[in-house]
Structure 1
Amino acid sequence: MTIDPQAKVVLDLLAAIGFTFGGTDPVSLRESMALGNTPSPIELAEVTDRAIPGLGGDIPIRIYRPSIEPGLPVVVFFHGGGWVVGDLESHDHAARAIASKADCVVVAVEYRLAPEHKFPAAADDAWAATEWVATHADELGVDATRLAVAGDSSGGNLAAVVSNLARDVDHVQVIHQALIYPVTDATCDRPSWTENAEGYMLTSDGMTWFHSHYANSPEDYTDPRYSPLFDELAGSAPAIVITAGFDPLRDQGIAYAEALRAAGVEVDHINFEAMFHGFFTMDSGIDVASEAQDAVAAALKAAFAR
């Protein structure tokens, strides 16, 4: 399998401008990524910002409504960025796409970032936000019995962690998890880690850099709130897992889908063989990104219809 021609155009452009994930200081990386933020063409009925309480202070959230109809299902969305970069703006288009295509309210969460706030700060904020949505459904005008979580990369990690935490409580019921090339195993000892080590935007060295900022020490790597593959997965929510063929994280995403299935969890796994890590948000230049968004939306709509 070779890289998709449209994906190659994007990768060549990134290489030409010298963009890399990691290897610099976090503030500089955040600033360079912010330069790439562009307004989304997707119009929704309402988009509002607010803050909710968290363990480390207020958590900014953004609420996306495809219509003003009350009682819509809701997706709590966590952005990617290695727990170090990313915010409500970087993934505004992804949140809008999910809200529009899955006909649901999306609550995007701006969790605390590392290295200023190390593990488990991001996981704590992700859980606090999901808990808040579940317990304030009437205020939000959403259906708490149709609550899903979603995220890409480190956001997929947080979505998986939240789904597993919700399994053990009664007041938060997650009915589906959409995991888009998620980080599931920080030990990173699978073939794709070396096969796709460089040349495809996210490098293995870059991912190691992210881990070095988020983790307090390598001992965190096997904590289920850091690496959900180390959790007991029976009873976790049904899932769609998206992976990319040219991604150093490909095999840990596949391993997580297989582990969920082995634990009796319903799983739909789709590997986009000719894609690279990060493609999901690039539908303006990569047609397959729209296909991946459609697949996630279809899985969510099916879960909401049950």
Structure 2
Amino acid sequence: MRTAPSSSTSASWSPKPAARACTRPGMLVQRSSALTGSRYPGHLTHRQGRRYPARMPLDPAAAPIIELMEASFPRLPEAGEDAAALRARLEALPKVPITEEIAACEDRAIPGPTGDLPVRIYRPMTHPHDPLPGTVYFHGGGWVICGLDSHDGACRRLANAVNAVVVSVDYRLAPEHPYPAAVDDGYAALEWVTSHANELGIDPSRIAVAGDSAGGNIAAVVAQMARDRSGPSLAYQLLVYPVIDSTSTRNERPSRTENAEGYFLVLKQMEWYREMYVRDDTTGAEPYCSPHVAESLAGLPPACIVTAEMDLLRDEGEHYASVLEAAGVPVTMYRAPGMFHGFFNMHLVLDGAKDAQKVAFEAMRAGLETA
């Protein structure tokens, strides 16, 4: 991976040249020299003349987890409910115990576009005295639900695994705050982290964005906003089963048919989330809503994109990897065989999550160490 130019807290964007690809059929697509020769049970991204292996069945270890999740996790509002009531049902669920110890965790309120923006700052358990890389994290939840607490464990894990200061952003939620509120909050958070890098113990030349699902969408868009506005120079982006396509043709992708039912995130649910956030097809066609439609993707930071084979968002995430690569952006693409939407942070119970985290965190750590 190419070394990013050193920057100050006010440095403007500078494009990152593409790295050479190292690919094998049926293997991880990887661009990081630190991973050269590694073998994982994932699959290649879309490439001209290449195909994925035959579709695998759902991982047997995943079936009881999906059953438990579907029995306990609120999906769509029930009759007479609204999004706020859905959030209240989610909040009433038993809290997941903390299993990942970190050096420090602090809640703060930073300036946002319309007022205070809550964030949570995590410092890894083991870190040098020198400034660390930083990661601005955006939680999933369809732009409608979840927050700092729901993804607390994920951010703790990320901080330790990547050895970075992680700043989790409690962006405004739809439908009370539809597009572009979430991405505006996300960009404001990135600017704040960059301008306060010294205070946070962060190296401003090694800042990444990351997110899962709708948070992956926000991370991808914030990376484009930083480039377009000559803003903070990002070193990396980690997108975990991101929502990429909110255009009128989104449901023409095969994975949205193959995985429309039965794997936790169902199509009806995804459409409801989109309606809460996007509202109409004109908005959905904007690049800060559907990042793959941007006129150019050149100059974006190196990326790691993780998809799940049984996820209806699979194809759009892999398409984004392919168009980023075509634009000269170094990409690590990993499809988790037999896995489903939401699996990534279940490393304590799913080997598939452990494998995916190993790929993603090693790629991200290598990218931030060499930036």
Range class of TM-score, shorter chain = over 0.9
- 1:184 positional shift: 0.6
Is 1:149 aligned to 2:209, yes or no?
yes
- 1:70 positional shift: 4.2
1:4 is matched with which residue: 42, 59, 81? 59
The higher radius of gyration belongs to 2
Letter of the 2:262 counterpart: G
Separation (CA, whole Å) in 2 of partners of 1:223 and 1:169 = 16
Name segments (4+ residues, structure 1) moved above 4 Å: none
Q: Secondary structure at the match of 2:316?
A: helix
Q: Secondary structure at the match of 1:6?
A: coil
Separation (CA, whole Å) in 2 of partners of 1:61 and 1:243 = 27
Separation (CA, whole Å) in 2 of partners of 1:20 and 1:250 = 22
Relative distance call for 1:39 and 1:222 in structure 2 (3 A) is: same
Work out whether residues 21 and 203 of structure 1, in 8 Å CA contact, stay in contact via their aligned partners in 2. Answer: no
Letter of the 1:203 counterpart: V
Aligned to 2:220: 160
Separation (CA, whole Å) in 2 of partners of 1:196 and 1:181 = 14
Q: Secondary structure at the match of 2:155?
A: helix
Structure with the larger strand share: 1
Separation (CA, whole Å) in 2 of partners of 1:295 and 1:113 = 30
- 1:14 positional shift: 2.9
Separation (CA, whole Å) in 1 of partners of 2:368 and 2:220 = 18
Letter of the 1:173 counterpart: S
Q: Secondary structure at the match of 2:338?
A: strand
1:43 is matched with which residue: 83, 87, 101? 101
Separation (CA, whole Å) in 2 of partners of 1:246 and 1:191 = 11
Aligned to 1:53: 111
Aligned to 2:286: 223
Q: Secondary structure at the match of 2:348?
A: coil
Q: Secondary structure at the match of 1:229?
A: helix
Structure 2: 5+ residue stretches without partners: 1-55
Relative distance call for 1:115 and 1:50 in structure 2 (3 A) is: same
Aligned to 1:199: 262
2:147 is matched with which residue: 87, 106, 112? 87
| Cα-to-partner distance string for 1:137-196 (whole Å, 9 max, x where unaligned) | 111111010000100000000110011111234440111100000001113220111110
Aligned to 2:75: 21
Structure 1: 5+ residue stretches without partners: none
Aligned to 2:135: 75
- 1:207 positional shift: 0.4
Letter of the 2:62 counterpart: A
Separation (CA, whole Å) in 2 of partners of 1:198 and 1:23 = 18
Give the paired residue count.
Answer: 305
Letter of the 2:281 counterpart: P
Aligned to 1:265: 329
1:33 is matched with which residue: 79, 84, 90? 90
Sequence identity (%): 48
| Cα-to-partner distance string for 1:193-220 (whole Å, 9 max, x where unaligned) | 1110010010111000001101132211
| Cα-to-partner distance string for 1:78-119 (whole Å, 9 max, x where unaligned) | 000000001000000110111011111100000000011010
Letter of the 2:116 counterpart: D
Work out whether residues 75 and 149 of structure 1, in 8 Å CA contact, stay in contact via their aligned partners in 2. Answer: yes
Aligned to 2:161: 101
Separation (CA, whole Å) in 2 of partners of 1:70 and 1:50 = 23
Letter of the 1:214 counterpart: Y
Separation (CA, whole Å) in 1 of partners of 2:89 and 2:107 = 24
Provide TM-score, normalisation by structure 2: 0.79
Work out whether residues 7 and 275 of structure 1, in 8 Å CA contact, stay in contact via their aligned partners in 2. Answer: yes
Structure with the larger helix share: 1
- 1:264 positional shift: 0.8
Aligned to 2:339: 275
Separation (CA, whole Å) in 1 of partners of 2:104 and 2:73 = 34
Aligned to 1:214: 277
Aligned to 1:139: 199
Letter of the 2:274 counterpart: H
Separation (CA, whole Å) in 1 of partners of 2:95 and 2:274 = 24
Aligned to 1:305: 369
The worse-fitting range, judged by mean Cα deviation, of 147-156 and 24-33 is: 24-33
The worse-fitting range, judged by mean Cα deviation, of 147-156 and 211-220 is: 211-220
Work out whether residues 134 and 171 of structure 1, in 8 Å CA contact, stay in contact via their aligned partners in 2. Answer: no
- 1:8 positional shift: 0.8
Letter of the 2:259 counterpart: N
Relative distance call for 1:41 and 1:269 in structure 2 (3 A) is: same
| Cα-to-partner distance string for 1:228-262 (whole Å, 9 max, x where unaligned) | 01112111111000000111100000110011011
Work out whether residues 138 and 211 of structure 2, in 8 Å CA contact, stay in contact via their aligned partners in 1. Answer: yes
Alignment of 1:240-255 (within 5 A): 240-255=304-319
Letter of the 1:267 counterpart: V
Is 1:238 aligned to 2:302, yes or no?
yes
Provide TM-score, normalisation by structure 1: 0.96
